[in-house]
Chain A
Amino acid sequence: MPILGADMVAGTLVAWRKKPGDPVARGEVIAEVETEKGLIDVEVFVSGVVDRLVVEPGTTVPTGTVLAVIREDTGAATVAPPPPAAAPAPPPAIAAPGPAAPPGVAVPRRPRVSPLARRVAEQLGIDPGGVRGTGPGGAVTREDVERAAAAAREAPPRERGRVDVARMRQAIAAAMARAKREIPHYYLAHTIDLHRALTWLRDENERRPIADRLLYGVLLLKAVALALRDVPELNAVWRGDRPEPCTTVNVGVAISLRGGGLVAPALHDTDRRPLGELMQAFRDLVQRARTGGLRSSELSDPTITVTSLGEQGVEAVFGIVYPPQVAIVGFGKIVERPAVVDGAVVPRPLVTATLSADHRVSDGHRGALFLAAVERWLQAPERL
């Protein structure tokens, strides 16, 4: 069970998308898991063949619990998803279904299934490979299959895109309280003239077909991602008692959900993708965040978060760092104000960019250099 949020301690396996014997490729979805962020598609991190499904649908297990065993292409066995490097909090007392196989151990043989159990499983539409056997030698019996079928029937139907807002609120509360308690924040603000960026964007969008138009927000995401190259210590996660630099830039985008709450999934490789591709990925991400279908890697991989409340009318937003990240960048609304340009007073579209960062990892000087780099990139939109 992957960790899909700063204070996630458990998740419910809702359904398997693969069965024992199925080939899987790295990145392919193997299961659906319900968390406080809704229904999440869990990907595998190795290519191989599904050897065994360990957890039955409907079961709630702590993070770190092995969900399935995959036989790698090389013949080695691995667990899917991989256990987290460091659990954020002790898991609650939730019964885990059987012992979890650590990586590197011999793969248990596929559980034996009696012919009767196999026939009943077929009639009930149950994959016997995903049923925990209680018979001799761990064999799956007819009773095991019927129990699994009953559990599947009793499980409430999951609707994609529907989240338990109260539960999500609790998770946000826990993560933010922890962040405020443990992370010594510092805050910076910087006003950026968007004249060049918005003029370039208007001209660019006139050339693009409607479905390929860019939103102003995607310029901000790319500018932040590129600025991290200048101040890479902000692109890191805090593990244990020290920061770990991240080798890729995966900007987490704060997305408000229609029923309340928010998620901040990652746009992978934000700094390396051209704007058009980034825009399509951004659209897809927002749609899946709101209708269901986020992937586990999108929730576990952000290396920094960007939040924008400009459309809601606020001029500046000072965020709270989302652990284990070490920085969050905020953008307010664009306001037209008089500015002095070449000695003349002219109206200019200005935005306030803010940085909230972990003082254990960076200081204000480096943070200021980062915001200056964001501004520099936004003054050269054609290079984004």
Chain B
Amino acid sequence: MTREQVRATVLRVLGDIAPEADLASLRGDVPFREQLDLDSMDLLNVAVGLHAALGIEIPEADYSKVATLDACVAYLESRMTP
């Protein structure tokens, strides 16, 4: 899966959880929580959605590593089997 495909998957999952969000203008370096007004329930649903889409289970201890779009894509890529 390419980086762009991973990014598109993350955006799709975010769009499912925050359908009103303008994802086109989402900044890659600012936490989702700040830009999209996500709460802990939303972030859990993001983790569940990414697991369903990519088969990657994000441990709670790693939540800080997936707080922004750029960081999330990089993290997921690093967890993918080559």
User: A interface vs B, CB < 8 Å?
Assistant: 202, 205-206, 209-211, 213, 215-217, 256, 258-259, 282-283, 286-287, 311
Identify the closest chain A residue to B57 (Cβ): A210
Chain B neighbourhood of A209, CB < 8 A = 57
- A123 and B45 alpha carbons, distance in the complex (Å): 44
* B33: nearest chain-A partner, CB-CB: A311
Asked whether B74 is an interface residue with its Cβ less than 8 Å from the other chain, the reply is no
**Minimum CB distance partner of B18 in chain A:** A258
Known: A205-B60, A210-B57. A258 touches B41 (CB 8 A): no
Would you call B41 and A286 a contact (CB within 8 A)?
yes
Given A206-B59, A286-B41, 6 more contacts at CB 8 Å?
Answer: A202-B60, A206-B60, A211-B51, A217-B41, A256-B39, A259-B20
Instruction: Tell me which residues across on chain A come within 8 A of B57, comparing CB atoms.
Output: 209-210
The number of inter-chain residue pairs (CB within 8 angstroms) is 34
Chain A residues, CB < 8 A from B59:
206
| B66 vs chain A, min Cβ distance (A) | 13
Question: In the complex, A206 Cα to B57 Cα: how many Å?
Answer: 11
Closest to B21 in A: A258
- Does chain A have a CB within 8 A of B69? no
Give Cα A282–Cα B59 distance, bound, in whole angstroms. 21
B20, B44, B51: which contacts A258 (Cβ < 8 A)? B20
Which of A202, A210, A259 contacts B47, CB < 8 Å? A210
In the assembled complex, which residues on chain B have CB atoms less than 8 Å from the CB atom of A282?
41
- B49 CB to nearest chain A CB (Å): 10
> What is the chain A residue whose CB lies nearest that of B59?
A206
- The complex places the Cα of A217 from the Cα of B45 at a distance, in Å, of 15
Tell yes or no: B26 within 8 A of A by CB: no
For the complex formed, measure the closest distance between the CB of B39 and the CB atoms of chain A, giving whole angstroms: 5
- Distance to closest chain B CB from A359 (angstroms): 32
Decide yes or no: A215 and B20 within 8 Å by CB, A210-B47, A210-B48, A210-B58 being known contacts. no
B61 (CB) vs chain A CBs: closest residue: A202
